Chains A and B, each alone.
Chain A
């Protein structure tokens, strides 16, 4: 079967143990205000426009049969996303790669082959593959197929998930996924809904489910100023995780704005600037988690999918 992949990043260091290849799957039910991978949200391919690389040659407009690309006064391009039929001719015509696809259909075998390319490095470093997104569980069957091939090849598998999915999908993947990197974004349902667009109840239920089965889980918290980085929320989060039981390890992912530029490239607006936290905030929170008996660490900045420039 085929799935929608927006990036395969080799040599990734913050997405599970050892050196890993991260498969970024496109499409996500959440709309986190701080999302640094906006190209991961929509369930279909998108065309991104990188103004910095644009030579203003006009080749894209010339090949666009929908006349969806027009020139701004300064020669840069404006894409009318409504009119665009996603035929991709403009991407082909764009020599400097200012126009690029985000999201490509690939077969499970193709993806597995790309994963296998670094097999030697997984072996020497204790690494493997990590399915990420978007929300990888949105393409659970696709993940299932790839992970089955990985299992056959002896490659360690991990998944980074928001946890927002039907429990059946999770149940099906449990035998094939060696490590679950499970996001807990906010302990309070109201606020969770405000910041991410969805309830946290199914997420907590899924985490409880995994814990009960004794599946290896690392809880990851995108640590964001004004959202969940205050002392009170940290305390609530600790309380929640304690009540779930079974979770031993917590990683904090510091907020960054590396993805802000991509909103513009997709013709969208960023809604949440300025949520940064200080190193002290992170250290203080880590102390709290440790005091509560968790193995806690700062997992550095989650590397964004590599742009070629």
Chain B
């Protein structure tokens, strides 16, 4: 067993600083369980697909929502369960840790296509036993032909939109919710802790009894309630299976201490999640079952624990008060849960999805601190303990975040800053003072807005009650600019793909250029909406999610599955990518062509057509003689604001079939690299095919005035309009945040971020040199975590070009 300790791996004084600051270390149990997660080679587990398909074959005559419920129940009743030696929190996703189940109802087509390549991938490799391949190929996947969301949706997509969908160099990348389930939820964990599934069943039964079956909608509601009861019971039975397994292991073990632990686990799983949690340990276990079941129900990603420190704290406080648990014991339980977050993994869709997402991220976003429903600071002891769990475990999951506001205690900020400078890219920081008003503007109630959570990378959402479709699509804004400057013709394929806007030489001012850009944006946003609304209708038709629905506020009350719009809030959030590239391009055109007249359209077009080959001087002129976004210069920053506004205002015009509105975001996940591949040369001086700027960060290397100027520029982008989230990545030189002074500096910087009303910021603090070493010697650096986009990932496990992009991000001395 090779275990590389984090502090050996990442040399540098800041590491030592971080270590000194740790007041406790992980227990041997936690260290062992944690290291196990890093040793296992992921694989594909067939059980879910097998059981789910068996059930579907048996229920063909029944309503879809009931079929879905029965299929989930069958999986939960028969899948392999295990309790790893030493575990205190139990519950597994597939037959082995870090093995991925298959979800044929959404993924049959791409799993079939990629069955032979999972184990040959360079990254995100999954082992697939021959027998599993055979069973999937011959017995399971054929059943789903023509039934998946993907096939059904593409079959009904209107022809013109279908053409846009099939473009070789697309503007829109909308496939996540076409080829997978939606996920991106923060379900009502506290409700299960409070009333248990027994309580939820009771609520369903009361609603059911109150139905007047002669009412036109009542029969659909009846079906949903039946499905709800099936999955609630299945959840309880599933926990009881773990109680049995724990009992069995307890009888077998010679180790007295472990026997007592297993007996305790058996008692706990016998009690929760059926009944209300009575202790911190029960609350953690009940939480985990709910979280796990959301993951077994669908292949959706980004299922957020949300404000874990808020809803779990009362259980901890009560146990500590009554002397039922020591702080050390509570910390170890929490650490054990932290390891479980790292155990979950899902199959990544490569190609084309990883082309856009740069890897598997489960994005289980857990957020600490922030204000409570009265607007007071809500940081508590558990908030600090979660930061400690992060220091102890240091896996890529959970995606840890903190909420800050003027009243965030300095002590909490310092504790978070200490975790940040470990270099893992966690926690990400969210600003209550921008996000709360943003949510209000989306029609969220004040109470829900104050209690917001983050979904996935950076998407703010009301808690426990929202089906937000927050990562619905990636929208390539620079591609629209390329088309606007080329009469709608793609520079890479030569085909007419967008509206025929006027040729640039006929544009007499920058306003004409912006008008053409706006036309392209409007055209593609419109088609994006048609696509996403099509997926939406089909998801509701074939892929209801009764389990997630009974733990989402609004669904039981409305008596419908959440895919039909029964959650309290319903959004669709597509992201605009490449803001800085468009802003810098417009700034260069405005300055050099229209104001200085130092460049002609003919020459610029020739340079772009030739990807600057033979036009090196033009490229330097564009790079050096025009203002650039990211330098606190209103000339370029105002254009960046305009670019943000154009996209956001266009997206906000539309509604989705669930009765909700479209919410624009400006963040990239990791798509800035692959989306760059489909964009030709730009007037910003960017070469064809190279990465776009990530999030609302400036283009790589164009921010020359340091991090405060970046903050100022970014603060001019319309954060309040981009309510589905914005992302700012800042790379800091590790040595400048070392020591007491460095820690203070980082805290001060975060306070400035808060005052400047930015949405989100995250830090990479590992030096470019270390990253290059990690590229050369991946094995030695296999525990090295970095911030990719809205999530952290093990550096050696991400694609090479994304690695290069991360190395390229401008490094600032702080």
Contacts and interface: CB of A to CB of B under 8 A. Distances in A.
Interface of A: 9-11, 13, 18-19, 55, 57, 59, 95-97, 117-118, 120-121, 123-126, 303, 306, 308
3 shortest interchain CB distances as A-B pairs: A95-B620, A11-B706, A125-B748
Interface in B793-814: 812-814
B624 A11 contact: no
A95 B709 contact: no
B220 interface: no
B752 A117 contact: no
Given A11-B707, A121-B749, A124-B752, 10 more contacts: A18-B748, A59-B617, A95-B617, A117-B632, A120-B755, A121-B708, A123-B752, A123-B755, A124-B749, A125-B748
A306 B617 contact: no
A117 B712 contact: yes
Contacts of A308: 704
B755 A124 contact: yes
Interface string B707-723: 11101100000000000
Contacts of A121: 708, 711, 748-749, 752
Contacts of B35: none
B163 interface: no
A57 B812 contact: no
Contact of B756 (A97, A120, A125, A126): A120
A306 B712 CA distance: 19
A13 B745 contact: yes
Contacts of A97: 620, 624
A19 B745 contact: yes
A306 B709 CA distance: 14
A19 B620 contact: no
Interface in B574-604: none
Contact of B751 (A10, A13, A124): A124
A174 B624 CA distance: 41
Interface residues of B, number: 27
B625 interface: yes
A283 to B, nearest CB: 15
Given A55-B616, A95-B617, A124 B704 contact: no
B708 A57 contact: no
A18 B632 CA distance: 20
B705 interface: yes
B732 to A, nearest CB: 11
Contacts of B751: 124-125
A146 to B, nearest CB: 18
A10 B748 contact: no
B621 interface: yes
A279 to B, nearest CB: 13
A186 B3 CA distance: 54
A34 to B, nearest CB: 22
B738 to A, nearest CB: 11
Interface in B727-786: 736, 745, 748-749, 751-752, 755-756
A286 B774 CA distance: 37
11 contacts: A11-B709, A55-B620, A59-B617, A95-B620, A96-B617, A118-B708, A123-B755, A124-B752, A124-B755, A125-B748, A303-B813
B107 to A, nearest CB: 47
- Tell me whether chain A's interface is mostly helix, strand or loop, or mixed: loop
A13 B712 CA distance: 18
Nearest to B706: A11
Given A13-B813, A55-B616, A120 B752 contact: yes
A306 B813 CA distance: 11
A117 B705 CA distance: 12
Nearest to A118: B708
Q: Which of B620, B711, B712, B755 has the most CB of A within 10 A?
A: B620
A96 B752 CA distance: 34
Contacts of A18: 748
Nearest to B624: A97
Contacts of B813: 11, 13, 303
A55 B617 contact: yes
Contacts of B812: 11
A211 B708 CA distance: 35
A189 B751 CA distance: 47
Contacts of A303: 813
B752 A10 contact: no
Interface string B460-498: 000000000000000000000000000000000000000
A308 B748 CA distance: 26
Interface string B693-711: 0000000000011111101
A306 B705 CA distance: 8
Nearest to B616: A55
Contacts of B617: 55, 57, 59, 95-96
Contacts of A55: 616-617, 620
Contacts of B704: 306, 308
Contact of B705 (A10, A19, A96): A10
B70 to A, nearest CB: 57
Contacts of B621: 95
The winner among A9, A117, A121, A303 for most chain B CB atoms within 10 A is A121
Contacts of A120: 752, 755-756
A59 B621 CA distance: 12
A126 B736 CA distance: 17
A11 B730 CA distance: 14
B130 to A, nearest CB: 55
Which one of B618, B625, B705 has the highest number of Cβ atoms from chain A below 10 Å of its Cβ?
A: B705
Contacts of A57: 617
A9 B812 CA distance: 13
B109 to A, nearest CB: 49
A125 B624 contact: no
Nearest to A21: B708
Nearest to A97: B624
Interface string B624-636: 1100000010000
A123 B705 CA distance: 19
A57 B614 CA distance: 12
B736 A10 contact: no
Contacts of A19: 708, 745, 748-749
Interface string B499-519: 000000000000000000000
A118 B708 CA distance: 7
B736 A13 contact: yes
Given A96-B620, A303-B813, A125 B752 contact: yes
B419 to A, nearest CB: 20
A96 B619 CA distance: 9
A303 B812 CA distance: 13
